[in-house]
Amino acid sequence: MARRESAVVDRERDSREEYTTELLTVSEVAKRLRVDDTTVRRWIKTGALQAITLPHKGKREVYRVKKNTLDELLNTPATAAS
């Protein structure tokens, strides 16, 4: 019985974390990475950086990047280019 209750608590915590994840704009990501907004948009379009596409009216896509995603990217060791 305790194991079942623990699973319910874990699911509830995961659900809360999903809704409280901080989302960053393209400009915020660019500032943190010290690159241009265009570079961040290119990384998103090529799949190098995961982002959420928001509904919008206009020419340019509107993206948000989860702070966790950016943190993981920054904590990943760089690989040497060959």
pLDDT tens string 44-67: 999 999 999 999 888 889 999 999
DSSP-assigned letter for residue 58? S
Q: What is the pTM of this model?
A: 0.68
Please count the CA atoms within 13 angstroms of the CA of 10 that sit on its side-chain side.
6
Helices (H), the chain: 2-20, 26-33, 37-46, 67-75
| Tokens 């010290």 found at | 34
| pLDDT tens digit at each of 82 positions of the chain | 455 555 555 555 555 555 568 999 999 999 999 999 999 999 999 999 999 999 988 888 999 999 999 999 889 887 765 5
Domains of the chain by start residue, with CATH: 21-74 (1.10.1660)
